[in-house]
Amino acid sequence: MSENIIHRRDFLGRLGKVSLGTLAAGGLSVQVVNAQDQHNQGTWKPVSERKVRVGIVGYGVCRFGAAFGFQGHPNVEVVAVSDLIPDRRQGLMKACRCDKSYESLEVLVKDPKIEAVFVATDAPSHARHCIEVLKHGKHVMTAVPAVLGSVEDADRLLEAVQKSGLKYMMAETSCFRADCYGMRQIYNAGGFGRIIYSEGEYYHYHSKPIGSFKGWRVGMPPLWYPTHSTAYYVGVTGKRFTSVSCVGFNAGFPAYQPGANKYSNPFTDEVALFKTSEGGSSRMLMCKGIHKLVVERGRVFGERGWMDGMEYHGAAKELPDTSRPPLPPGMPAGGHGGSHGLLSNEFITSILEDRQPLVNIYEALAMTVPGIIAHQSALKDGETLNIPQYG
C-alpha cells in the first residue's frame, strides 16, 4: 500500500488534473495532504477592506483569548478585552495589543463600538455569555463546548441565535485540522459515499485536573467535552448522531472518587457508540485515564473509500484540493494542529460575506449535545438513548 502513496500536490503539479483512479488497479491510495504543508501555499485574498470591531473575553489558564490570532488579522480591530481577574486582564490587553478593557463581559457587551465578541471564558458560562452577547446585538464566536452538560441551555442558546439573526460560531479545532478538513472535502466530493463507520478520539491524560476558574474542570464528565472527537463525523459529513450507548470507566484518580466532584461523576473515561442519520455507526471517546496519552484524531470508513490520518484509500477517480485555506500574511496558524488562525479567519469572513460560518449553531449543538446524552447513557450502564436533533 505504501508504494502507491504520493503527495497529491506534487503529482498534480507534474501532470495537471488527471484521473487518479489510473494510479492503482482496483483502488487508490493517495496521501492527500503533505504533512509538512500546514496551509495552502496560495495567496490570501481579502474579501473586504473593512475591519470588524472585536471584543475578546477570557484569558485564563490556557490564554485562549489571545491564542486565536484576532489581533493579527488585517480585517480586525480589537476594541477592548475583559477578564474577571485583573492580572489576567492586563495580560490579555498586552497580548492583544489593546489599550482598553472592561471588568466583565456584561460590561464589555454594552460598548457600542464592538460588533463581535470572542467568548473564551469558563465552559459552564459559554451558553449564558453567548446569549448575553447576542442580546446586545453582537456576533459571537465561542470556545468549545457550546454548552456544558445541559440540553436546556442548548435550547436556550439556539433560540437566542435564531431570534437575533446574528452570526454564531463554535471554535471547534478539529474541523480545521488538516486530516479532518481533508476528509470533509473528499466527503463532499463523493469520495467516501455514505459513511459506514467513523471514529473520533480525544485522549487527554491528566491524573491531576488542569487549573480552571472555580474548578470547573475538576471531575467533569469526559463526554461533556466531546467536540474534538465528534467533529470527525459531524464536521466531516454535516450529518447527525441519532442514538447512543456509552460505557464509562474510572481510572482511580482522586477527583473521580465518590463525593469528590460537584458533578457526581465517577468516570475518567467514556467511550460511546452512536447510530448515525446515514444508517452507520460511530465510536467517539474522551479518555483522561490512559497513561500519558494526549492526542486528537479520527478516521472515516465509507462505501467508496476510507481515510486514516492523511491517507485516502478508495475508488474515487478524482479528488478535490484538500489543502487548507491560506491565512493572512503574518497571521500565525496557532495551536491544535494549526487550526486557531483558520477558525478566527472563518468567523470574520462569515461576517464580512454575510453567510453562515462553518461551525454554526446547528453544527455546534450537533457536536456537543450527543456527548451530554452519552454521559447519561454511561450512568445507566450503557442504555441506548435517543439524541435531540438540530438542523
**Per-residue confidence band for 32, with pLDDT thresholds at 50, 70 and 90:** low
Interstrand relation of 311-314 and 28-31 (parallel, antiparallel or unpaired): antiparallel
pLDDT in tens, 88-103: 999 999 999 999 999 9
What are the grid coordinates assigned to 302, written together? 465509507
Is pLDDT at 237 greater than 70 in this prediction?
yes
Would you state the pLDDT for residue 17?
31
Contact, 52 vs 77, CB < 8 A?
A: yes
127-142, pLDDT tens digit by residue? 999 999 999 999 999 9
pLDDT category at 209 given cuts 50, 70, 90 is confident
pLDDT of 21 above 50:
no
Question: Percent of the chain scored above 70 by pLDDT?
Answer: 90
Enter the DSSP assignment of 44: P
The sign of the dihedral angle between the CA atoms of 184, 187, 192, 196 is positive
Listed range (3-12, 102-111, 368-377) with the worst mean pLDDT: 3-12
pLDDT on residue 7: 35
What's the grid cell of residue 165? 439573526
Q: Does pLDDT of 9 surpass 50? A: no
| Residue 286 one-letter amino acid | M
**pLDDT tens-digit series, residues 268-315:** 999 999 999 999 999 999 999 999 999 999 999 999 999 998 899 999
Task: Write down the H helix ranges in 119-164.
Answer: 126-135, 151-164
Q: Specify the pTM.
A: 0.91
pLDDT(23) > 50: no
> Which CA distances in Å does 350 have to 18, 48, 99, 314, 358?
33, 11, 27, 33, 8
Measured CA to CA, the distance from residue 63 to residue 67 in angstroms comes to 6
CA distances from 67 to 33, 104, 238, 334 (A): 25, 19, 27, 7
Site of grid cell 458560562: 125
Q: How much is the average pLDDT of 76-84?
A: 98
Q: What is the mean pLDDT of residues 4-14?
A: 33
Report the pLDDT value the prediction gives residue 214, as an integer from 0 to 100. Answer: 92
The conformation of residue 317, written as its DSSP 8-state character, comes to S
C-alpha cell at 214: 472555580
Tens digit of each residue's pLDDT (9 = 90 or more) over 330-363 = 899 999 999 999 999 999 999 999 999 999 999 9
**Spatial separation of the C-alpha atoms in residues 92 and 105, rounded to whole Å:** 14
Residue where the block lists cell 479528488? 319
Q: Report pLDDT for 10.
A: 36
Sign of the CA dihedral running 303, 308, 309, 313: negative
> What are the chain's domains?
52-173 (3.40.50.720), 174-311+357-386 (3.30.360.10)
Q: In what order do the strands lie in the sheet with 101-102?
A: 101-102, 76-82, 52-57, 116-119, 139-142, 168-170
DSSP assignment of 8-28 equals HHHHHHHH-S--GGGGSTT-E
The grid coordinates of residue 316 equal 474515487
**CA–CA separation, 255 vs 82, rounded Å?**
30
Pick the more confident residue, 221 or 22.
221
- For the chain, strand residue ranges (E) read 28-31, 52-57, 76-82, 101-102, 116-119, 139-142, 168-170, 195-204, 241-249, 269-276, 281-287, 294-302, 305-308, 311-314, 385-386
Average pLDDT over residues 150-160: 98
Q: What pairs with residue 314 in β-bridges?
A: 28, 305
Asked if residue 1 has pLDDT above 50, the reply is: no
pLDDT, greater one: 5 or 92: 92
Stretch 47-56: mean pLDDT: 97
For 221, phi then psi, to 5°, come to -55, 130
pLDDT averaged over every residue in the chain = 91
Cell numbers found for residue 10: 506534487
Sheet order of strands, 385-386 included = 28-31, 311-314, 305-308, 294-302, 195-204, 281-287, 269-276, 241-249, 385-386
Does 50 score more than 80 pLDDT? yes
pLDDT of residue 62: 84
